[in-house]
């Protein structure tokens, strides 16, 4: 039976929750002879209806979740969870405040500033929602049970970063491409808002990786001919069996026979598309396919990725709809590339063909 | 009682899991697993996910007892309180798992 209570409800009580119960089952249970079962079934039906209302509201109006910045421009806030699961435990640095003595606080502040500058300078975008939304980050977040969090995520309104366990991962703020990835999830929630399941979800992950890598290459002045396409190198504890969290150029090779990570499961083409139910239907797995198409396109066009392939991919991202699949993405990116010249059209068409997506 | 656990997603998209059978465990450990699984209240086939979040961990727990199978899918922010102790017991035991083996 569906339950919504959890130990940290106070800090997450405005999250939209997806609750899928076979309706016939819950309906049936409301007629149970057991009063306890009957009561819980009725409560769950009421709760599910309430959550559905929040979900449809936030899907239709993502700005519902945005917090406008006082300056209506670049404005950052960094919270320190203090190794607890409390996302808003203590506000430790706001826009213009002096540097902290805490590296994680400064990384979250500086890198979210880089991401703001990237979208502002290249796409004239004022923050994630293009309306000056405050960029809120929480660092030193733990798991619900207080253990170290091996993760970074976007919760629908802000970023959150764990410190890692010190065996596989170290603090997730260390990597600009990780911060760029999380914030690009935010940009997507105000544009294409690709549904986080199956191929649309894999595209959501793909565009987040693209955002992360482009921001890093732009910030470091890395031209395509010298670029590496690894995601999250800095957040991994070094080991001979791991090079990064994902390799956008060679999906499926970022780590191999690693005792803690296993072997990178990302497919490099459609023949190896994952069709199972793990990871929301493989959103972090199948993103390897469009990631490779993006890198092949970037390499064919050369120069600087943020100047050549970047605008084509950004325009594609904003044109997609919530349920777009790989073929839709290929079709639209080729259409967009056509407006950037014959060479761009040729490069993007060949890249999608190479990964097995024909248009 | 058979209990299977899968963890997937997160920023890294790692797939981990463990399959336990209380009848094949030491008596006290088997009893502990059965107690935690029973206390979790997992019944039927249910999915409880945070819709707007990205890069959350996805957890799947499958319990098989007396030819009845129950399965729950949830994420970091929708962990039912009653399931938390079972999750805390299973998570440290999960190992990297190839996608083919991760299938329930």
A28-72 residue pLDDT tens: 444 445 554 444 444 444 434 333 333 333 333 344 467 778 888
Identify the pLDDT of residue A83.
98
Asked if A184 and A204 sit in the same domain, the reply is no
In this structure, of A24-38, A117-131, A137-151, the range with the lowest mean pLDDT score is A24-38
Residues of A taking part in catalysis: 182, 284
Closest CA to A158 of A70, A83, A21, A66: A66
Asked if A168 and A234 sit in the same domain, the reply is no
Asked if A175 and A238 sit in the same domain, the reply is no
Alpha helices, DSSP H only, in A131-232? 176-189, 198-220
Asked if A146 and A11 sit in the same domain, the reply is yes
What's the pLDDT tens digit per position in A291-320?
999 999 999 999 999 999 999 999 999 999
Query: Does any domain span residue A34?
Result: yes
Question: How many residues in total does chain A contain?
Answer: 359
Identify the pLDDT of residue A23.
34
Query: Does any domain span residue A268?
Result: yes
Identify the pLDDT of residue B37.
98
| pLDDT higher than 90, residue A123 | yes
Q: Contact A2/B48 with Cβ under 8 angstroms?
A: yes
Identify the pLDDT of residue A65.
62
Query: Is A59 within 8 Å of chain B by CB?
Result: yes
Identify the pLDDT of residue B16.
97
For A278-314, what is the HEC assignment?
HHHHHCCCCCHHHHHHHHHHHHHHCCCCCCCHHHHHH
Share of chain A above pLDDT 70, in %: 82
Query: Does any domain span residue A359?
Result: no
Asked if A89 and A158 sit in the same domain, the reply is yes
Distance (Å, rounded) from C-alpha A284 to C-alpha A153?
13
Query: Does any domain span residue A148?
Result: yes
Identify the pLDDT of residue A43.
42
Question: At B7, is the pLDDT very low, low, confident or very high (cuts 50, 70, 90)?
Answer: very high
Strands (E), chain A: 17-20, 76-84, 90-94, 135-141, 152-154, 159-162, 230-231, 246-247
Question: A18 and B47 in contact by Cβ < 8 A?
Answer: yes
Residue A149 DSSP label: P
Asked if A250 and A166 sit in the same domain, the reply is no
What is the pTM (predicted TM-score) of this model? 0.86
State in Å, rounded, how far the first CA of chain A is from the last one. Answer: 44
Query: Is A196 within 8 Å of chain B by CB?
Result: yes
Asked if A307 and A252 sit in the same domain, the reply is yes
Taking residues A171-189, what's their average pLDDT? 98
Range of the domain at A269: 198-354
Question: A182 and B55 in contact by Cβ < 8 A?
Answer: yes
In this structure, of A61-70, A87-96, A185-194, A284-293, the range with the lowest mean pLDDT score is A61-70
Closest CA to A143 of A83, A102, A200: A83
Single out the residue in A167, A190, A213 at which a domain terminates.
A190
A259 by Cβ neighbours in 10 Å (0-12 / 13-18 / 19+) ranks as exposed
**Chain A positions in Cβ-Cβ contact with residue B11 (cut-off 8 Å):** 151-153, 172, 178, 181-182, 232, 245, 284
Single out the residue in A162, A190, A218 at which a domain terminates.
A190
Q: Contact A81/A58 with Cβ under 8 angstroms?
A: no
So what's the ipTM on this one? 0.94
Asked if A139 and A225 sit in the same domain, the reply is no
**Chain A positions in Cβ-Cβ contact with residue B4 (cut-off 8 Å):** none
Q: Is the pLDDT higher at B104 or at A261?
A: A261
For residue A124, the tally of other CB atoms under 10 A from its CB is 8
* CATH code: domain of residue A294: 1.10.390.10
Asked if A170 and A252 sit in the same domain, the reply is no
* CATH code: domain of residue A175: 3.10.170.10
Q: Contact A143/A85 with Cβ under 8 angstroms?
A: yes
Choose the mutation target among A128, A208, A279, A281 for the interface with B, i.e. most B CBs under 10 Å: A279
Tell how many helices (H) and how many strands (E) occur in chain A. 11, 8
Query: Does any domain span residue A79?
Result: yes
Q: Strand, coil or helix: what is A277?
A: coil
Asked if A181 and A224 sit in the same domain, the reply is no
Q: How many domains does chain A have?
A: 2
Query: Across chain A, what does the average pLDDT equal?
Result: 86
| pLDDT higher than 90, residue B42 | yes
Query: Is A153 within 8 Å of chain B by CB?
Result: yes
Query: Does any domain span residue A340?
Result: yes
Query: Is B67 within 8 Å of chain A by CB?
Result: no
Tokens, residue A229: 């396409």
Asked if A168 and A209 sit in the same domain, the reply is no
Asked if A47 and A105 sit in the same domain, the reply is yes
Buried b (16+ CB within 10 A) or exposed e, B45-57: ebbbbbbbbbbbb
Q: How far is A257 from chain B (nearest CA, A)?
A: 10
**Chain A positions in Cβ-Cβ contact with residue B82 (cut-off 8 Å):** 3
Question: A262 and B15 in contact by Cβ < 8 A?
Answer: yes
What's the pLDDT tens digit per position in A199-232?
999 999 999 999 999 999 999 999 999 999 999 9
Which residues are registered as beta bridge partners of A258? A262
Closest CA to A172 of A146, A204, A139: A139
Residue B6 DSSP label: E
| pLDDT higher than 50, residue A26 | no
Single out the residue in A123, A158, A190 at which a domain terminates.
A190
Share of chain A above pLDDT 90, in %: 79
**Chain B positions in Cβ-Cβ contact with residue A260 (cut-off 8 Å):** 96
């Amino acid at each position: 039976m569906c339950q919504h209570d959890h130990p940290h409800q106070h800090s997450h009580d405005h999250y939209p929750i997806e609750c899928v119960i076979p309706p016939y089952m819950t309906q049936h249970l409301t007629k149970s002879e057991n009063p306890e079962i009957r009561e819980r079934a009725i409560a769950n039906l009421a709760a599910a209806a309430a959550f559905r209302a929040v979900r449809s509201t936030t899907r239709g109006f993502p700005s519902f979740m945005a917090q406008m910045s006082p300056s209506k421009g670049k404005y950052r806030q960094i919270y320190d969870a203090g190794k607890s699961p409390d996302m808003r435990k203590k506000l430790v640095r706001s826009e213009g405040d002096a540097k902290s003595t805490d590296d994680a606080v400064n990384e979250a502040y500086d890198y979210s500033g880089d991401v703001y500058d990237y979208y502002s300078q290249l796409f004239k975008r004022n923050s994630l929602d293009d309306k000056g939304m405050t960029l809120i980050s929480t660092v030193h977040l733990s798991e619900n049970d207080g253990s170290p969090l091996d993760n970074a995520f976007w919760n629908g309104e802000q970023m959150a970063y764990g410190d890692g366990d010190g065996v596989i991962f170290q603090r997730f703020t260390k990597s600009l491409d990780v911060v760029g990835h999380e914030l690009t999830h935010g940009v997507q929630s105000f544009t294409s808002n690709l549904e986080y399941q199956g191929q649309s979800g894999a595209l959501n992950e793909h565009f987040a990786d693209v955002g992360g890598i482009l921001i890093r290459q732009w910030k470091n002045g890395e031209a395509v001919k010298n670029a590496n396409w690894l995601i999250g190198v800095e957040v991994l504890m070094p080991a001979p069996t791991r090079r990064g969290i994902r390799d956008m150029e060679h999906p499926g090779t970022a780590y191999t026979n690693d005792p803690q990570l296993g072997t990178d499961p990302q497919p490099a083409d459609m023949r190896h598309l994952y069709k199972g139910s793990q990871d929301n239907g493989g959103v972090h797995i199948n993103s390897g396919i469009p990631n490779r198409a993006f890198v092949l396109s970037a390499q064919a066009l050369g120069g600087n990725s943020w100047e050549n392939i970047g605008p084509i991919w950004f325009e594609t991202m904003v044109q997609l709809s919530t349920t777009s699949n790989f073929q839709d993405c290929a079709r639209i990116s080729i259409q967009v590339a056509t407006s950037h010249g014959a060479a761009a059209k040729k490069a993007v068409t060949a890249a999608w063909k190479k990964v097995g997506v024909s248009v | 009682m058979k209990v299977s656990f899968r963890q997937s997603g997160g920023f890294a998209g790692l797939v981990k899991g463990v399959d336990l059978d209380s009848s094949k465990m030491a008596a006290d450990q088997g009893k502990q697993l059965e107690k935690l699984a029973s206390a979790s209240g997992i019944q039927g086939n249910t999915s409880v996910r945070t819709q707007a979040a990205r890069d959350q961990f996805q957890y799947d727990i499958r319990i098989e007892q007396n030819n009845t199978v129950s399965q729950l899918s949830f994420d970091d922010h929708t962990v039912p309180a009653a399931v938390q102790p079972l999750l805390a017991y299973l998570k440290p035991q999960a190992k990297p798992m190839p996608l083919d083996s991760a299938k329930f």
